[in-house]
C-alpha cells in the first residue's frame, strides 16, 4: 500500500484473517466503501456470506454487503494489507500460518485485545507490523451476520521494530487513511504501547465483570459496588503499566471508562459472549496478563487476580443446570 492514498486512488487489496465479529465489522465497512476485501473465517460464516453477503445489523437498519470470503489462509496471498483479528491466544499460530503466504511488502495490522500481539506476530513475520487499538461494540448474531452495538473507531501505531523503518509513519498514515475512507475513524499515535495499555486497562474493568455478572455495561456502571471493583482493577493495571515503563493517567482513564459504559450501554463483553457460547476466552491476555506482569514485578494485584481466577473457573464449566437444585442442607 502506498502512502498518501486519497478517495480517488485505487484501494489496497485487504484480507481479514480471523473474520469473527471484529473482523467482519471492519472488513465489512471497508467492503461497503468499495475496497477489495476477502474475509477468512469459519466455514459456516463463509458459506452464509457467499450465499447472501455479509449481513450487518445496525440499530436502525440492516445491510447486505457483498464481500469475498474463504476458509483458507492462502487467500491472503495477493493482499496489500492483512488485518489479523484472531483471538490473542491464537496469535502465534496465526503468524506461523500466515508466513508462507503473505506478500513480501504486505502490511500486517493486529486488531486484537492485549498489548503484545504485534510482538508475537513479529516472531513469525518479517513484514511491517502495526497494532490497532479497537473500540467497537459488536458480536456475531448468526452465520454471516454481524451486529453493531456502538462506536467503531481505531487507534493505530507501529510495532517497535517497524517504527524504526524510515517509511513507518507514512505507511501508518496511509493505513489510517484507508480506514477513514471507509468511514472508520482511525487516529494515529507514535506511542502505541500507551494506547494498548489504555485499552487493556479498560478491558480489565469491563470484561471479567460483565462475564461473571452476565451484565451489560450500563447496568455494571450504575452499581456503586461494581464501580468500585472496576476502579480497583484499573488502578492495579495502571500501577503495573507504570512499572513496565508505560505512564497512564488513572483519572483520565476512569473518565474514559465511564464514557465507554455510556457509548456501549447495551454491550456484553467479548469474554461474556465467549462463556455463553462455550468458547475459550481471552482472559489470560487481559486480567491474566496484568497478573503475569505483576508477578514478574513483585506487585500485588488482588482484584485482577480474583477476576482472572473466577473467569477461568467459569470458563471451565457450569455445574448448575437450569432448574436443578443441589439438595445440599440449607440450600
Cα–Cα distances in angstroms (integers) from residue 111 to residues 23, 136, 212, 321, in the given order: 8, 11, 25, 36
SS (H, E, C) 126-167: CCCEEEEEEEEEEEECCCCEEEEEEEEEEEEEECCCHHHCCC
User: What's the rounded Cα separation, in Å, for the pair 184 and 102?
Assistant: 25
CA-CA-CA-CA torsion sign (34, 39, 45, 46): positive
| Residue of 87, 199, 279, 312 with catalytic role | 199
Sole residue written with cell 440499530: 59
CA distance 1 to 311: 41
Active site residue 199: yes
Cα distance between residue 98 and residue 50, in whole Å: 23
Q: In 3D, which of 44, 221, 57 has the Cα closest to residue 138?
A: 57
Farthest CA pair distance, the chain: 73
Number of Cα atoms under 13 Å in the Cβ half of residue 197: 22
Task: Cite the active site residues.
Answer: 199
Amino acid at each position: 500500500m502506498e502512502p498518501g492514498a486519497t478517495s480517488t486512488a485505487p484501494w489496497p487489496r485487504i484480507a481479514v484473517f480471523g473474520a469473527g465479529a471484529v473482523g467482519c465489522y471492519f472488513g465489512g465497512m471497508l467492503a461497503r466503501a468499495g475496497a477489495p476485501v476477502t474475509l477468512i473465517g469459519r466455514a459456516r460464516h463463509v458459506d452464509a456470506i457467499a450465499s447472501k453477503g455479509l449481513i450487518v445489523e445496525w440499530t436502525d437498519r440492516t445491510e447486505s454487503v457483498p464481500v469475498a470470503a474463504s476458509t483458507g489462509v492462502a487467500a491472503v496471498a495477493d493482499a496489500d494489507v492483512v488485518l489479523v483479528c484472531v483471538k490473542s491466544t491464537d496469535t502465534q499460530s496465526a503468524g506461523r500460518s500466515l508466513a508462507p503466504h503473505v506478500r513480501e511488502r504486505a502490511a500486517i495490522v493486529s486488531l486484537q485485545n492485549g498489548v503484545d500481539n504485534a510482538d508475537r506476530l513479529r516472531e513469525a513475520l518479517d513484514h511491517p507490523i502495526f497494532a490497532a487499538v479497537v473500540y467497537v461494540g459488536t458480536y456475531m448474531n448468526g452465520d454471516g451476520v454481524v451486529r453493531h452495538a456502538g462506536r467503531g473507531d481505531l487507534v493505530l501505531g507501529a510495532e517497535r521494530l517497524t517504527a524504526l523503518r524510515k517509511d513507518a509513519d507514512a505507511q501508518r498514515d496511509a493505513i489510517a487513511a484507508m480506514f477513514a475512507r471507509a468511514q472508520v475513524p482511525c487516529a494515529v499515535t507514535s506511542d502505541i504501547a500507551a494506547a494498548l495499555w489504555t485499552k487493556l486497562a479498560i478491558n480489565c474493568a469491563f470484561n471479567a465483570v460483565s462475564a461473571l455478572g452476565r451484565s451489560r455495561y450500563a447496568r455494571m456502571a450504575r452499581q456503586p459496588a461494581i464501580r468500585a471493583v472496576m476502579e480497583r482493577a484499573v488502578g492495579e493495571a495502571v500501577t503495573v503499566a507504570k512499572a513496565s515503563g508505560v505512564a497512564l493517567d488513572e483519572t483520565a482513564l476512569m473518565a474514559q471508562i465511564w464514557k465507554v459504559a455510556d457509548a456501549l450501554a447495551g454491550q456484553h463483553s467479548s469474554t461474556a459472549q465467549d462463556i455463553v457460547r462455550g468458547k475459550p476466552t481471552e482472559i489470560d491476555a487481559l486480567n491474566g496478563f496484568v497478573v503475569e506482569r505483576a508477578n514478574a514485578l513483585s506487585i500485588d494485584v488482588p482484584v485482577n487476580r480474583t477476576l482472572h481466577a473466577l473467569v477461568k473457573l467459569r470458563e471451565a464449566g457450569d455445574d448448575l443446570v437450569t432448574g436443578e437444585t443441589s439438595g445440599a442442607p440449607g440450600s
